[in-house]
Amino acid sequence: MNSSYLDHAATTPMRQVAVSAWLEHAGARNPASQYGSGRRARSALDSSREQIASLLGCEAIEVIFTASGTEADNLAVQGLYAGSTSTRVVSTPIEHPGVLETLKALPGAELEMLPVGADGRVSSFDLLAAPAALATMMWANNETGAIQPIAEFVRAAGPTPTHVDAVQVVGHLPVRFDELGVTTLAASAHKFGGPRGVGLLLARRTPAPSAVLHGGGQERGIRPGTVDVAGAAATAAALAEAVAEMEARAARVRGLRDRLRRGIVELVDDVVVHTTEPSLPGHVHLSFPGAEGDSLIMLFDSLGIEASTGSACSNGVNRASHVLLAMGVSEADARGAIRFTLGHTTTAADVDAVLAVIADVVARARLAGLAF
């Protein structure tokens, strides 16, 4: 049975250019070594860093390699907080756990949340009128795909250091770190066709995050530890290809996404669409009231269609999405949510596969009802 992969927001298939780059540098020595093979590894690492900097509009020294987008978020949030005398922190209730759980763990932090409207976007920045240790807001939501008013956020924050989780954006929307005005920005290679296990933290020279990890001083001391040269090279190659095809890919994927959404609404009664514009081109997040999201996922999986609920599941207990609840969606409707995310490998046949079975899948899931 052929599989239709529609969960690109979770991870997107690795691009061949990234695979080739990784294999080319898989035998690289420690780039901190002083002998010839170490210097060659350092040269490859420097070239990758410079290429990424050029693609994202920043200086090479501002590119810090990490092990994931979550680690990049942690280093930025903890590091900016540690460097401040204030305990006030401003964020949003729709952040990815990589940010949200980090904020909750900050010692002594007084956390205040910006309000979110029914469209999934921050509706007021009044809380940023007063200074804080840091303010953080994701650029685009991983569940709904909603693009946040990032420029307004930066303007409202004024002198307060700002962190942006851009994991869903880098490689999909144009990014110019030098023009954005934020202090730090997190990205993840496997979201744009790079390898899993590589993240990026863009960090200005000043104010820079204080070190929360300690070691040999690599990556400006912000992320000490031996850098994965092969992973860096693969990330640079994937990002270059993703940026080069960005405009054409976005138009193609958006067309497929729109056809999928229209088809679902036409074929199924009582559908709640959570994705509104402006949004990422490949996202469509919907609820089917009366159905359990996990039932929908398992039924689709049995038919060779891979999607996700977009919500957390812990110890086998179904939980409504914190993002949808923050938007004012009822818990019952939130539990019936499913997220389809399209990407560079998605075809018209994948969309057709969903539309061919959606009515029957939803009917069966509704017949099973909600788990209590």
Active site residues: 313
Q: Could you tell me whether strands 337-341 and 134-136 are parallel, antiparallel, or unpaired per DSSP bridges?
A: unpaired
What is 256-310 written as a DSSP string? HHHHHHHHHHHHSSS-EE---SSB-TTEEEEE-TTS-HHHHHHHHHHTTEE-B-S
Cβ contacts of 39 within 8 Å, gap of 6 or more? 33
Separation CA 161–CA 167 (nearest Å): 19
CB atoms within 10 A of CB 244: 11
Are residues 116 and 91 in contact, defined by beta-carbon separation less than 8 angstroms?
Answer: no
From CA 320, how far away is CA 337, in angstroms rounded? 8
* Residue 215 DSSP class: S
Among 171, 165, 94, CA closest to 343: 171
Give the number of other Cβ atoms within 10 Å of residue 329's Cβ.
21
Distances in whole angstroms, Cα of residue 230 to Cα of each of 45, 58, 221, 352: 8, 22, 21, 38
Identify any residues that bridge with 66 across adjacent strands, giving them in sequence order. Answer: 199
Alpha helices, H only, the chain: 16-25, 36-56, 69-82, 97-105, 150-157, 177-180, 229-244, 246-267, 293-302, 322-326, 331-335, 348-368
- Residue 372: how many other CB atoms lie within 10 Å: 5
